[in-house]
Structures are given as C-alpha cells and as structure tokens.
Structure 1
Amino acid sequence: MVRFEDPPAPRRGVPRADHKAAAEELRGLPGMWGFVTAYQAQSAAAQAASNIRNGDAQAYQPKGAFDATSRTVNGEYRLYVKFIGEETSGDAG
C-alpha cells in the first residue's frame, strides 16, 4: 500500500549549538541533565560527550565540572550535559 505524502526537506546540517551559553545555563541548575544539541551522526554526538567529560571542550571547563552522554532518540543523535560542580581548593581551617 502506498502512503501519499510529501518528502521532508533535505537536511543541510544541524545548526551549531552555542555551547558557551549552554554551559552557563547548566551551571545555574547543578545536577540537572539538559539536551544541548543533536548531531547527524551517532559518532559525532558520542565524541562531543567524550570531549566534554575529558575537559577538551573549552565551554565546559574545568575538567570534571560537567558530565555528558549521547543518546539516540527517534533517529536523532542527541547530546545531553549536566553540571556536576567544580572542585574548590583551599584550606578548610
């Protein structure tokens, strides 16, 4: 049986996320996961998450302050990030 419908518009790439703005927003809600952006390939989403966890993404510095993961949802390769908090150094007393 044929399903009659117009094809979707061709994808010309995913708009770039403003990671600096995303990181600032996530800092305001520690421990809350946020959907930051979607990628065209699962490997790209996974690499972005790895870069954030490893401290290689400048917007999400310092290393260890953010957790990140990628998930496939309805064929969309999503990047989720949460702010964990920053370690503070100094004497307690």
Structure 2
Amino acid sequence: MTKDVFRFEEPPPAKRYMHKATAARLRENPGQWALIAVYDQRTNAGSMRRRISQGLGENWQRPGDFEAQVRRIEDEFKLYARYTGEGKEQSDE
C-alpha cells in the first residue's frame, strides 16, 4: 500500500555519516557501552554487529577497536557498542 505524501523537507543524513558520528562519540568515551541502533530483524542487527566487531568499513577502523553486542528486548533487536582501542595494526607484509 502506498501512502501519498508531499512535503518539503531535507533528507536525513546518509547512514555512513551517522556511523562516522557514532564511531567518533564512542572513541570519546572508551570502554563505555552505548545503545547505537534498534532493528526489527535479528539478521540486520547481527550484520551490523559483525561489521563493527571485525573493523569493516572506514568508520570502525581496525578489527578489535570496537566491540558490539545485540540483545533482543521484546520484539526489537538492540545494538550496543563500545570503543576499546585494542585493535591490531594491519601489516602490509
């Protein structure tokens, strides 16, 4: 079903910019867990958890710099993350 809507408004920031801001805020508070997203499907929450934990993408840097966990609360899947700064430098060898 499509709902007809017309209004002038600015689009929200792209997800990558939201991730950049989230990663920066976590770096400012090392070791502190934060709720960073809420999903309606476990697969989506799990996919983002893996990206963060494995250091995939420019915002999450090296594997191990961030930790992430998903918790189911009623019908929602909440994604928590924290910055540890314990990632390993990648070798060019």
TM-score, with normalisation over the residues of structure 2?
A: 0.69
Q: Report the alpha carbon displacement of residue 88 of structure 1 after superposing the two structures with TM.
A: 8.2
- Overall identity of the aligned pairs, in %: 31
Q: Is the alpha carbon distance of 1:62 and 1:23 closer, same or farther for their aligned partners in structure 2, counting shifts above 3 Å?
A: same
Residue 77 of structure 2 aligns to which amino acid in structure 1? Y
Match of 1:29 in 2: 29
* Unaligned runs of at least 5 residues, structure 1: 1-15
Q: How many residues align?
A: 75
CA RMSD of aligned residues (A): 2.3
Match of 1:41 in 2: 41
TM-score, with normalisation over the residues of structure 1?
A: 0.69
Residue 72 of structure 2 aligns to which amino acid in structure 1? T
Runs of 4+ residues over 6 Å off in structure 1: none
* Unaligned runs of at least 5 residues, structure 2: 1-13
Alignment deviations for residues 10-67 of structure 1 (CA, whole Å, 9 cap, x no partner): xxxxxx7511101100101110001001112011101110111111132111221100
